[in-house]
Amino acid sequence: MAEHAKLLVTREGAVTRITFNNPERRNAVDPETCVALRDAVLSAAVDDSRVVVLTGAGGEAFCSGADLKAGAPLTDVTEYLRTVTNPTIRTLREMAKPVIARVNGVAAGVGFNYALAADIRIAVSTARFSQAFVKIGLIPDGGSTYLLSRMIGYARAFELMVSGDVIDAPRALAAGLVNRVVAPEELDGVVKELAARLAMAPALAVAGIKRAAGFGEAHSLAESLDFEAVTQKGCIESADFREGVAAFLQKRAPRFEGR
């Protein structure tokens, strides 16, 4: 287990859990915490875990965005975004394992965008979401100008970004921003069950699905079909495929080992 004052990284079986740990400030992040998050995400991408869970400490917030009381503003925001925020978002999206955002409360600003970069978002019924950047004279960063439009369409994404409006969990679910909304007392059980299920899934196939889905966001149908054809070759030659077929024929649960 690795620890940082405002970020915790823990391991439970095949699941790496990264937790924003600043509940007194609604898990707002300062530059030091964002660097620690980048390093934790880069490490999780190459460790032997099979699932990553990203969440916040306490029951009030997932991550409320940048901590505006953290000190002097950045002297070179472009360099900071290029070297800290952007690698974090890209790695969450591109790592060869599923990322679950356990959204246990407010997700605002870059906190919203960390959640958007996950593959699956499970939100508590009291969660709130906001692209709050415009309220302090900024454009959204952290990838939302790319991710939001692809999730909910240009018009709704643009409205969220230029208004900075807060939307509740039911509206986020209806818009397709989250996969599920659950009661507070159900959140831990639902996330643990999902993480365990994904950890038992064939890792090569899951990684291939993630790569192919990401590829399809920016390529044509013909290109995506060819990408599938190439990726499928690696899956069909794997020990996991052979195990899956054997388990099906023998009417038993498969035991995938990621080979």
Look at residues 103, 107, 165 and name the one whose alpha carbon lies nearest to residue 134.
165
Neighbours of 165 (CB within 10 A): 15
Average pLDDT over residues 215-238: 93
Considering the chain, what is the average pLDDT of its residues? 94
**Looking at the domain 2-199, which fold is it?**
2-enoyl-CoA Hydratase; Chain A, domain 1 (3.90.226)
What pLDDT sits at residue 2?
A: 52
Has residue 133 got a pLDDT over 60?
Answer: yes
What pLDDT sits at residue 69?
A: 85
| Contact residues for 43 (Cβ-Cβ < 8 A; gap 6+) | 2, 9
**DSSP type of residue 29:** B
Where in the sequence of the chain do the CATH 3.90.226.10 domains occur? Answer: 2-199
Has residue 130 got a pLDDT over 70?
Answer: yes
CATH number among 2.30.29, 1.10.12, 1.10.357, 1.10.600, domain 202-250: 1.10.12
Query: Is 253 exposed, middle or buried, given 0-12, 13-18 or 19+ CB atoms closer than 10 A?
Result: exposed
What pLDDT sits at residue 75?
A: 81
Query: How would residue 109 be classed by pLDDT, with cut points 50, 70 and 90?
Result: very high
Per-residue burial over 105-119, b = 16 or more CB atoms within 10 Å of its CB, e = otherwise: bbbbbbbbbbbbbbb
Considering the entire predicted model, what is its pTM?
0.93
Query: How would residue 187 be classed by pLDDT, with cut points 50, 70 and 90?
Result: very high
Average pLDDT over residues 65-74: 82
For the record, the structure tokens of 156 come out as 């709704």
What pLDDT sits at residue 74?
A: 77
Has residue 1 got a pLDDT over 70?
Answer: no
Query: How would residue 72 be classed by pLDDT, with cut points 50, 70 and 90?
Result: low
Q: Phi, psi (5° rounding) for residue 100?
A: -105, 125
Average pLDDT over residues 35-47: 97
Query: How would residue 54 be classed by pLDDT, with cut points 50, 70 and 90?
Result: very high
Look at residues 176, 114, 127 and name the one whose alpha carbon lies nearest to residue 149.
176
Average pLDDT over residues 49-69: 95
What pLDDT sits at residue 59?
A: 87
Look at residues 69, 158, 61 and name the one whose alpha carbon lies nearest to residue 111.
61
Where in the sequence of the chain do the CATH 1.10.12 domains occur? Answer: 202-250
Q: How far is CA 215 from CA 100, 140, 237, in A?
A: 20, 23, 22
Per-residue burial over 209-232, b = 16 or more CB atoms within 10 Å of its CB, e = otherwise: bbeeeeeeeeeeeeebeebbeebe
The most confident of 11-20, 233-242, 248-257, by mean pLDDT? 11-20
Alpha helix locations (H) across 131-168?
Answer: 144-152, 154-163
